């Protein structure tokens, strides 16, 4: 069974930083690209970033480039998202999701999410 478990969220002051983690199990983690997607309270899904299986290809949403860094450790079956200079508008549930597809890529399995709240 595919399982994705996010952690690392919490209450952070504006300007602070945070590292989110996603522990994967039940599939060959090193064979899949992975995504981070966020959802602000009461809002829609917003794609944040994706990383290829071997970390060779990394993409970020244009609006978020510069403060977010995605990485992975295939030996630990783990995905990470480092967020710097946090702002109130970064408050959201952050989901990690496995990516599949050929020709068109899409997330198929999602974790339960971890809540990041940015407030003083």
Interface with another protein by CB under 8 A: which residues? 35, 37, 44-47, 50, 59-62, 95, 99, 101, 103-113
The least distance separating another protein from the CB of residue 53, rounded to whole angstroms, comes to 16
**Hey, which residues does 57 pair with through a beta bridge?**
none
Residue nearer to another protein on the CB measure, 66 or 104: 104
The least distance separating another protein from the CB of residue 58, rounded to whole angstroms, comes to 10
The least distance separating another protein from the CB of residue 2, rounded to whole angstroms, comes to 12
Q: Any idea what DSSP says for residue 81?
A: E
Residue nearer to another protein on the CB measure, 65 or 87: 65
Burial class (CB in 10 A: 0-12, 13-18, 19+), 47: middle
SS3 call for 31: helix
What are the angstrom distances between the C-alpha of 68 and each of 27, 28, 42, 75, 111? 26, 25, 22, 22, 19
The least distance separating another protein from the CB of residue 116, rounded to whole angstroms, comes to 16
Residue nearer to another protein on the CB measure, 84 or 108: 108
């Amino acid at each position: 069974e595919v399982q994705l478990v996010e952690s690392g969220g919490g209450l952070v002051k504006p300007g602070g930083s945070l590292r989110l983690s996603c522990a994967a199990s039940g599939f060959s983690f090193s064979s899949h690209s992975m995504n981070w997607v966020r959802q602000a309270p009461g809002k829609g899904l917003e794609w944040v970033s994706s990383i290829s299986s071997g970390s060779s290809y990394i993409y970020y949403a244009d609006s978020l480039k510069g403060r977010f860094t995605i990485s992975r450790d295939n030996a630990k079956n783990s995905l990470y998202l480092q967020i710097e200079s946090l702002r109130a508008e970064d408050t959201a549930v952050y989901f990690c999701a496995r990516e599949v597809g050929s020709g068109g890529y899409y997330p198929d399995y999602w974790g339960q999410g971890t809540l990041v709240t940015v407030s003083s």
